[in-house]
Every structure is written in C-alpha cells, then in structure tokens.
Structure 1
Amino acid sequence: MASSLSLFLAKRYLFSRHQSGFAAFISASSTLGIMLGVCVLIVALSAMNGFERVLAQKLLSIVPHGELINVERPMIQWQDNINQALEHPRVLAGAPVVKSQAMLQKKGQLKGVELRGVDIRLEQQVSDIAQYVNSGSWQDLSQENAIIIGQGIANKLSLSVGDKVQLLLPKIAKQQFGQSFPAPQVFNLTVAGTFKFGGVIDDSLIYLNLSQAQTMLNLSSEQVQGIRLKVDSIFSAPQIMREVANQMTRDYVYIYDWTRTQGHLFSDIQLVRAVMYLALSMVIAVASFNIVSTLIMVVNEKRSDIAILLTMGASPATIMSCFILQGLSNGILGTLLGTGVGLYLADNLTEIVRLLESLFNTQFLSGDVYFINYIPSHIVSSDIIFTVVIALVMSLIATIYPAWRATKVQPAQVLGQA
C-alpha cells in the first residue's frame, strides 16, 4: 500500500505542470548530463577494449610471445630445446632465432636495423609476418643472400625487390687499450621482399634465413642464440616462459616475454582506461548530484502537500520513497538513453571516425607511427553493466538527502503558516 502510494505521488509530482521552470531545467540538465556521461564512458571503454584486442590479435601475431636467449654461449641442439619446450601443455609452437644489431647501406645512406635470422618454415608457426609481405614472397627468403625488409626501411633507402644492399655487422674481437676499432664486416645482399605491418617495426626489422645469419655471426648449423615460443594465452606468457626456462637446466638463459618488449603499449592503454573511467565517472557524479538541487526545490515547493500527507497518516518511509523514486527516474532515464546512444556509437565507431576523417581531410591515427591506422572498437558486456550500475547507484545516493529532508517537515508549523 505504502509503495503504491509512493509510486503514485512520484508520478504525479514528476509530471506536474505546476513545477517551476528553474526546477524543470535543473531536472532536465541532470538527465542530460547522466546520459552524456554514460554515453561517452561506453564509447571510450569500447575504444580501449578495441585497442587491447588489436594489440593481442595483430601486434602480438608477429612479436614473439616469449624468447629464451642463452647467456654465456650459443644455444646448441636447438631442436631438442624446442621439443622440450613443446612438452609444456601451454606452449603451442617454437622456432630458433639468431639476432643482432646491424646497419644497412645503400650508396651514401645508412639505416640502423635489427637483424633476425629465422627458420622459414618454423617461423610461420610462431609469427604471422609472412601475411604482411606486400612485395616479393616470404619463401624467397630461402634464396642465397636474400633479405626481407620493412617498408619503412625500403622507403628510407629507396629500395625495392631485386635491389642490392650492403649489410654491415660489427666484427667481434677483443680490444686492447689504444687499439682502433676493427672495420665492420660487409655482406652484399639482395632485397627479396618487403613487409608492411605499421609502426616502428617497419622502420627497424629485417629478416634473413637462419643458415645465412649463422654464417654471418660465425655460428655452426646447430648453434643459435635462442628460441622463440608461442603460447596459448598472451597474458600468461611471463609465467609460462619461467616454467619452460626452469625445465631447460643445461644453460642459463635470459627470459623475455612480450610484456618486456611491447608491454608499455598495454600499460599505456590500461592507464588511459583508468584515468578516463575516473574522469567520466566524475562527470556522471556531477550530473547525478544535480538531482539533489532538483529534489530540494521540489521538497520546498511541496511542503504543504507533505504536511497534509503526514497529517493524514502517511509514514515518513512513504514520503521518503516518493522523492527517491522521483529523483531516481531522472537517473534511470539518463542511463537508458546514454546506454542506447553509447552502444550505437561504439558499434559504429570505426565507420564514424572514418567519416569524420574524410569530412575534415585528416587522419587521427597514422599507420607509419602506430601499428594501426583506424580507431578500433570492441563492446564488452561487463563494462556496460558496470557503467549502468555506477550511474544508477550515484543517482540513488543523490536522492537520499533531499528525500530525508522531506520527512522532517513539521505539519503544525507548515499548516499554521498557510
């Protein structure tokens, strides 16, 4: 009975034509503020989720999930080490790697690069780099003196498939005090292909076949610097790599995983996500507490009605519930509208941003700087639910004080002044 009366009174006051214009404006602004806060928060979280998904699906498709690099000497019998690593139930694939810092030279131009000597077949099991070769073929890497380079390197040195280029490697030798540094080793190579992935990877990475890299670095066919592993869960990579390393008791190894090489990107996304969530939650909070102003004005306007209701036997709980429902309706309406609009924008965020780019003739993300050139979006239901709950809880909290003040109206004092 009391709840029915509270609901009836809340509806009557909510749609009352006698409500002051200023109170109606504050009420509408609180609803609009909650709607905008919820909408922007859903869109922002979806964008952050999109970046996380692209990070996992694209960047980590060519960046090794983990590497085990020998400390004191080259790794021998690498096939046995890979087979031993594959015994771990969460390791999906493994491949050998030889790597070094080097310089590429074309005429008078130089470019610092990261050299990767890989097994052509096994590398495709731990990396999708072959899918990003945009000229030439990944299999062409098997040719003698062949090299595949990033598109950024090709642009810097004006290289294309078939061009000759010189690779400069430091000569490993013990130095004595006062002795000059030895001249670098020079190798003549042929560009067999280029790959275009995006970001700094295109500007720094080159691939050689494993046997060629072993010859350059004075390693035998059984020697490599380490192995690269692909695991079933990228976020469990640090733990899995430690477990695999503990199984390999023959040599000391450096344990690397993607969180050490590319983890800053994920950390940046998480930081931006947390700051954005905090800032937009404050926007929702400010909009929600506009409800306080609205309800206080309504309570002051309805003091006579409240006094009559109390005189007729209405309980303080009924009065309080009436104003809580009235204020909460603004929060519910704003949350529903914000959720609907936010879901629509988040679902079409990539297309909307591309439309804005075409209208303003600009590009928000450059593929030459970042590893993608579009704004991704991925809607996660838990984020939506949490956002809705936060907005409703803030709206409910904002109604408590004005509703409690309504129960403190003194009927004798109010009606005596009427």
Structure 2
Amino acid sequence: MFQPLSLFVGLRYIRSRRGKGFAKFISAASTLGIAIGVAVLIMVLSAMNGFEKVLADKLLSIVPHAELIAVNEPINDWQQGAQQMQTHPEVIAVAPVIKLTGMLQYKSALKAVEVRGVDAKLETLVSDIDDYIVEGQWFKSHEQAASAATPGEKQGAKKQGIPIVLGAGVAKQLSVKTGDKLQVLLPQQSGEQSNRQRFSAPKRLNVVVSAIFRFGGTIDDTLAYLPLSAAAKVQGFESDTVQGLRLKVTDVFAANNIARDLAYRFNHYVYIYDWTYTQGHLFNDIQLVRTVMFIVMVIVIAVASFNIVSTLIMVVKEKQSDIAILKTMGASHRQIMTVFVMQGMSNGILGALSGAVIGSYLALYLTDIVAGVEQLLGTKFLSGDVYFVNYLPSVLNLNEVYLTAGVAMVLSVLATIYPAWQAAKVDPAQVLGQS
C-alpha cells in the first residue's frame, strides 16, 4: 500500500522501541505534563463556569436584576409605570420598592439594616426570597390583609406590630425568632427636623418578626423586608407612590442595557442600577480568576510541550545516520522535517487527548469529588456564611475542552519545528564520512 516517505518513516520511528532510556523518560514526562496541564485547565474552567451559573441562578434570584430609583420626587401611580415596562419583550416582571436604612432594636441589642418595603405578591415575581424562608412564612400582602380585617382585628394588628422578614444573620445577632417584637429606628426626613435641633429623635416603628430567611453570604446580615404600605406610611407617601421599581429580565448580562432602554421611555427622572453595582465584583472576580488560570495553565502546557524539543534533539543526534541515508536517496528537507514533526506531534496529541478525557471526566464529578475530600478531611473549603454557596459547582463546556486540547496540540507542533529544522540541516557527506 502506497504511503508518503515522511509518513512511513515517521510512523516507524514512533513505533520503534529503540532509543536511550533518558530520551524515553523525557518523552514520557512531556506527554504526562501536557495531559496534566490540559486536565487541570479543563477542571478550573468548569469550576468557573459553575460559579457563573450559580451566580446567575441563585444569587440573582434574590438580588434585583435592575432597579429604577427616583432621583428627587417619588414615583406616583407606579402601577401605570410598571404596566408600561411589562410590555418590553425582555422584561419578565416588575415590582415596587421603597428603600429605608435604619436600626433594629431588640431589648438592648442594635443592628443596622437595609429595609426594603415591598409588595408581598409582586416581590415573589422578581425575587425567589420566599424559597429561602427557614422559619415562619413570607408575609401575605399587608394591604390585602388590612382591607379584609374587621375593625377589631385592625386594632389588634396595630397593637401587635407590623410584620417584618429578617435575614438569618440579623436574627442571630439580635437573638430573635419568629413572633418576637422589636422596633425599627429610622432617621427623620430633612423637612421634618426642627431648625432648633441639631439631632432629631428617630422614628420608631413597632414590628413583629413574621419570618426568617437564610440565603448565604452577607445578604443574611444586612437585609430585612417590610410591607410596602408600612414603608410608604413611614415615608409619608400616598398609597400609589413608591421610591423605585425593581425589574427581572430575561438576560441578566444585558440588564444594564434593558434598564437604560426602559429609563429613557419612562416619564420620570430616575437613577439606573443593575446587579453589577452591588454584586458585579463577584462576576469580575470569576472572570479574573478564569483569565489568570488560563494563562498560567497554558504556560504549564507550553513548558511541557517544549520538553519535546529536548526529546527530538536527542532523537536527531541518534538518527543522524538514518537521516544522511535518506537524504542521499533523494529525501527533501521538507520530508525530513515532516518525519520529526510527526514524531513530536505524537506526544502532543497523546497528551492533549488523554488530558481532555481525564479532565472532562473529573469536571463532570468535580462537585462530588470535592465533597468527598471535605468529608474525608472533616473541613469545608467554602463557607456558606461567607460565600453564597457552600460547595464547589462545576459545569463542563465542550467548546472549552476543544479549545484547551487544540492549544496543547498547537504548542506541541511549534515545539517540533526547531529540532526538525536541525534534522533537515544534517550533512550526509560529513555524517557518512565519519562512520
């Protein structure tokens, strides 16, 4: 069967068992190094993909994708504005919000919190906060409950206090549980302060803990929810007046553009915020780690690939006689180079393919593997109190597998060029004259 000369000789050299043991060791080390580099890079990229997916699926399930917050005057008739925004094809849901910053007081304990006044029903359309309730129940719409209550029930509810939903970290620091009564201390509005007083006494709002949620990270330590009507009353707003509108959109990474588009159409002067203002550092950190690890591991693969140079140079020294004979028989420089490029490529291809297979397999089960190591060592690598997940997520992307293996193969080919060029420069007369 006809075969090109370079292919025939190259395959013979690859299958040959002859050669010094040291050359074989370097060849095996370069193949192993490429395989390890490719496998580790695939696992790192899969872990970064996992964090991105968790960021989009979990963290952004409670953090608003975008918010339009009034600059000077509050938004009147917010229902009409929300209805207008709902017509946008990229908007899934719209909910009102009133943001307050104050202190929670329980007995002698104080805790600074961000209080969000929300419509209980609409809030669950833009946020999955009710899925993270661990104690009590997400409060029913305060407006509906108030309208349906009898005069006696209204008076009893007023004495009992307004329902509030706390983060687990806030509840822990205040040592409260559902059913406990506490006070919300809110600063006076600038127009309400007396000119003769330098400091005004804070507003006091009696509330009762109706539920506690546990999400993870710093959110549990800083966030609380009030019914929209209660927050509006504190701020002196009318029933149809709010501070801003929260948006849930189809593409979280296009949230800023969607919010800007809606703001330009909105007949109110608003600040435009999206999730990158508060949580964007997490996404940026993931991208930074992904970039750094890709560069580092490509360098590792490059170092392993260029070990092929040492192997081929030793092979060229060993095969000088064969090269001289081939050249006297009419082999061209290109054919001689191809013989040794093929021999070096075999290491790169074997290392890249084996590393891709091993890395892909480990990436698919990376979460279980890390969980097993944590159980074996009796420790947790990721704490849910610090991060928004307490496990190592992993999502395998086949395109990244192809890219990583392709980069390894390209680097291995580049490493063969110099030794192959040296082989093509062998002078048959000098080599055969010495033998």
Q: TM-score w.r.t. structure 2 length?
A: 0.93
* Contact kept? 1:98, 1:225, Cα under 8 Å: yes
Instruction: Write out aligned runs for 1:273-292 (5 A).
Output: 273-292=290-309
2:401 paired with 1:411: no
Aligned to 1:139, the other structure's residue is in SS state coil
Unaligned runs of 5+ in 1: none
Alpha-carbon shift at residue 179 of structure 1 (Å): 3.6
Quick one: which of 192, 201, 225 aligns to 1:207? Answer: 225
Q: TM-score w.r.t. structure 1 length?
A: 0.97
2:261 paired with 1:243: yes
Alpha-carbon shift at residue 177 of structure 1 (Å): 8.1
Offset from partner CA, 1:322-354 (integer Å, 9 cap, x none): 101100000011011111110111000110011
Alpha-carbon shift at residue 16 of structure 1 (Å): 2.7
Specify the alignment match of 2:271 in structure 1. Answer: 254
Instruction: Write out aligned runs for 1:224-373 (5 A).
Output: 224-249=242-267, 251-373=268-390
Q: 1:302 to 1:2 in 2, by over 3 A?
A: farther
Quick one: which of 373, 381, 401 aligns to 2:418? Answer: 401
Aligned to 1:199, the other structure's residue is in SS state coil
Q: 1:375 to 1:322 in 2, by over 3 A?
A: same
Unaligned runs of 5+ in 2: 146-156
Specify the alignment match of 1:58 in structure 2. Answer: 58
Residue identity matched to 2:330: G
* Contact kept? 1:39, 1:342, Cα under 8 Å: yes
Alpha-carbon shift at residue 98 of structure 1 (Å): 0.5
Quick one: which of 406, 410, 414 aligns to 1:389? Answer: 406
In 2, the alpha carbon distance for the partners of 1:126 and 1:240 equals 15
Residue identity matched to 1:136: G
Offset from partner CA, 1:135-187 (integer Å, 9 cap, x none): 11113563650011011111111111111111110111356888421011111
Offset from partner CA, 1:169-214 (integer Å, 9 cap, x none): 0111356888421011111111000011100111111011111111
Q: Percent identity?
A: 57
Quick one: which of 203, 207, 212 aligns to 1:185? Answer: 203
2:52 paired with 1:35: no
* Contact kept? 1:141, 1:208, Cα under 8 Å: no
Specify the alignment match of 2:148 in structure 1. Answer: none
Aligned to 1:283, the other structure's residue is in SS state helix
Aligned to 1:262, the other structure's residue is in SS state helix
Q: 1:331 to 1:182 in 2, by over 3 A?
A: same
Residue identity matched to 1:230: K
Residue identity matched to 2:203: Q
* Contact kept? 2:139, 2:163, Cα under 8 Å: no
* Contact kept? 1:141, 1:192, Cα under 8 Å: no
Q: Number of aligned pairs?
A: 417
Specify the alignment match of 1:163 in structure 2. Answer: 180
Indicate the RMSD between aligned Cα atoms, in angstroms.
1.5
Aligned to 2:190, the other structure's residue is in SS state coil
Residue identity matched to 2:22: F
Aligned to 2:100, the other structure's residue is in SS state strand
Residue identity matched to 1:306: I
